[in-house]
Amino acid sequence: MEEDQRIIQHYNLERHPEGGWFRRTYTSSDCVSLKRGDRHCGSSIIYFLKFGEKSCLHYLDSDEIWYFHFGSPVKIHLFSQTDYSSITLGHSWSQGELVQYAVKKGIVFGAELLEGNSTLLSCSVSPGYVDEDFHWPSVSLLRSRFPEQKEIIKRLSF
């Protein structure tokens, strides 16, 4: 889509390893010392999904807040050690959609568009994002724990 390419160029986005497009827009100048090392207090990105793209299943060692700006509603699928749930980001509050949602550290999650449009979001991570805090889950373990969600797991896996 031509409009998608204009959005990517306007926000100077690049491909994200989990899917979609992104650009880091903020990193806190303050740091915090953790057992896993020093981290900036927070970081933020612009995140864009074109129709047909997804955020593949992954998890972080920090909390991540997702913010909805415009476009297709986005369903975030969440897998704890024992439970599956989902939420929908969007502007239709009467339909139960949320404009922001915090994914707690250690929760395996992925996202997909619910309509035929692209969407623009932002994500903030606290403590701030570093590559060492990003993890791919064991898909076979997820399938064994959540057989009723096997189609979701298949769709959101690489």
Question: Could you tell me the CATH number of the domain that includes residue 35?
Answer: 2.60.120.10
List per-residue pLDDT tens for the chain, 158 residues long: 699 999 999 999 999 999 999 999 999 999 999 999 999 999 999 999 999 999 999 999 999 999 999 999 999 999 999 999 999 999 999 999 999 999 999 999 999 999 889 999 999 999 999 999 999 999 999 999 999 999 999 999 98
Domain that holds residue 18: 2-155
- The reply to whether the predicted model has a pTM over 0.75 is yes
DSSP string, the chain: -HHHHHHHHHTT-EE-TTSSEEEEEEE-S-EEEETTEEEES-EEEEEEE-TT-EEEEEEESSEEEEEEEEES-EEEEEE-SS-EEEEEESS-GGGT-BSEEEEPTT-EEEEEESSSS-EEEEEEEESPP-GGGEE---HHHHHHH-GGGHHHHHHT--
User: How many domains does the chain contain in total?
Assistant: 1
